[in-house]
Every structure is written in structure tokens, then in C-alpha cells.
């Protein structure tokens, strides 16, 4: 009698252990499935956000087909200039070699595409890189991108500051001949903010990691002096 009772007790213990094991496995599978669902939802959500961020933007007049830069000139050699209006070295490049690029355009030797990226937002308290780049889009809409870009560099605020206010950005525009009403409204409305995001995102995808970055026919240029640029354009045009 006691032997049969012992067998029943042992069987009950085994059944309980098996039941616990089934519950444990069920919990693991449910948890794993939940994790997979969350990962899939995250990937889908990121893809949607990335697509919207990349594809929904307003391009200013004068931009290239990809909408990533403002084109000047139509020469056979393409010079891509990636610049941030808060970047001190970009200011130095503009002051040293900006006129050389304009001369190459005037001589129909080069087409220059300016990409005003916003890499340095972290160095201002008001996202100045984004605001100034968007304002340059407004200047492009008014036909004075280069005049405005040069004026922005001339009045470049120091890194770590709040940067220029929107009113100051507008004042610079009117100083180069832009209409205060249409240009000012464009700046205030941040019409080209989405374009700035697109330009910056695409530059990062194209492995541009700093400013200024200069490419001639897609190849990086180390010598950014007037002589170096002139020689590189001449070599690329042969």
C-alpha cells in the first residue's frame, strides 16, 4: 500500500515538474515573440521616420537635381563645397579661396555646388547652423545665395554662442539686396529647414564628416589654396 502511494506521489511530482517546464517554455516563447514584435515595429517606425525626413523637404530655386546643394556655373568640372556657416575654418576657406571658385565659374571651367550643412548645431544654443543654412535657402530663392553666404561668414558668430538672431539674419539679407518682406518671411517661417535637414543627412550618408570638405569630380581635395584648387580643376578638366 505504501509502495503504491509512493509511486503516485512520485508521478505527481513528475507531472508538476513537467507542467512547470511547459509554463517556463511558454513564458520564454511569449517574451521572445514580444521582443521580435517590438524590434519589427521599431524598424518599421525608423524606416517611416527616415523616409519622411529624407523625402519631405522644400528645395530652393537653384538647387541641383538631388536637392543637396545650390549650383553656380556650368563648367565641365564639378566642385562640391560642404560648409557650415558656424565653422571657423569654412570662413577661412571662403576668405582665402572663395574668389578663386567664382573666377573658375566665370571662366566656365567649373560648376560649383555649395552644400550648406548643419553639422555644428551642438556648438550653439539656438541651432544656428540649421537656421543660417535655412536662411541661405531663402537667399537662393531671392537669387543671392553667394552674396548672402559671404556676408554670413563675414559676420560669423563665435562657436558656443547663441548665434545671430533671425532678425540679424534678415538684416544681413537686406544688406545684400534681398527683399525684406519675402526674404524675412521665409526666414521667420523656416521655409527651408527641411531642406537643410536633407542636405545634412545626405552629406552624412555620403561620408562627409567635417567642414569644409571640397570634392572635385567626386574626389577629395587636400590643397584648398587658390593655387591648389586651380590646379586640381585644370587636371580634372583634361
Specify whether the CB–CB gap between 65 and 143 falls below 8 A. no
Q: What is the pLDDT of residue 166?
A: 98
Separation between Cα atoms, residue 122 and residue 237, nearest integer Å: 39
Helical axes 145-154 vs 128-141, angle rounded to 10°: 150
Q: Where do we find the cell 573658375? A: 104
Q: Is the pTM of this model over 0.75?
A: yes
8 contact partners, CB below 8 Å, separation of at least 6:
none
Q: What is the pLDDT of residue 19?
A: 73
Q: Tell me the CB-side half-sphere exposure of residue 173, using CA atoms within 13 A.
A: 32
Separation between Cα atoms, residue 90 and residue 129, nearest integer Å: 12
Residues in the chain: 238
Separation between Cα atoms, residue 60 and residue 105, nearest integer Å: 20
What's the start-to-end Cα distance of the chain, in Å?
105
Tens of pLDDT along the chain (238 residues)? 556 666 666 667 667 777 777 777 777 766 655 544 455 544 344 344 344 444 689 999 999 999 999 999 999 999 999 999 999 999 999 999 999 999 999 999 999 999 999 999 999 999 999 999 999 999 999 999 999 999 999 999 999 999 999 999 999 999 999 999 999 999 999 999 999 999 999 999 999 999 999 999 999 999 999 999 999 999 999 8
Q: What is the pLDDT of residue 223?
A: 96
Cell numbers that stand for 74 in this block: 556650368
Phi, psi (rounded to 5 degrees) for 45: -65, -40
Fold of the domain built from segment(s) 70-236: Glutaredoxin (3.40.30)
What is the four-CA torsion angle of 80, 190, 210, 204, rounded to 10 degrees? -80
Amino acid at each position: 500500500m505504501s509502495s503504491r502511494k509512493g509511486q503516485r506521489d512520485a508521478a505527481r511530482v513528475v507531472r508538476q515538474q513537467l507542467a512547470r517546464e511547459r509554463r517556463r517554455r511558454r513564458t520564454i516563447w511569449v517574451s521572445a515573440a514580444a521582443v521580435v514584435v517590438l524590434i519589427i515595429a521599431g524598424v518599421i517606425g525608423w524606416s517611416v521616420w527616415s523616409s519622411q525626413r529624407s523625402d519631405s523637404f522644400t528645395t530652393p530655386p537653384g538647387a541641383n537635381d538631388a536637392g543637396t546643394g545650390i549650383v553656380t556655373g556650368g563648367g565641365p568640372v564639378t566642385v562640391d563645397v560642404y560648409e557650415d556657416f558656424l565653422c571657423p575654418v569654412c570662413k577661412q576657406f571662403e576668405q582665402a579661396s572663395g574668389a578663386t571658385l567664382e573666377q573658375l565659374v566665370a571662366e566656365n571651367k567649373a560648376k560649383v555646388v555649395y552644400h550648406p550643412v548643419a553639422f555644428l548645431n551642438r556648438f550653439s544654443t539656438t541651432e544656428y547652423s540649421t537656421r543660417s543654412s535655412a536662411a541661405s535657402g531663402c537667399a537662393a530663392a531671392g537669387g543671392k545665395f553667394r552674396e548672402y553666404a559671404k556676408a554670413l561668414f563675414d559676420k560669423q558668430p563665435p562657436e558656443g554662442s547663441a548665434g545671430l538672431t533671425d532678425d540679424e539674419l534678415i538684416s544681413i539679407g537686406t544688406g545684400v539686396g534681398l527683399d525684406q518682406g519675402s526674404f524675412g518671411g521665409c526666414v521667420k517661417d523656416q521655409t527651408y529647414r527641411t531642406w537643410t535637414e536633407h542636405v545634412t543627412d545626405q552629406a552624412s550618408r555620403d561620408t562627409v564628416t567635417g567642414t569644409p570638405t571640397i570634392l572635385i569630380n567626386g574626389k577629395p581635395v587636400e590643397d584648398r589654396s587658390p593655387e591648389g584648387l586651380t590646379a586640381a580643376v585644370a587636371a580634372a578638366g583634361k
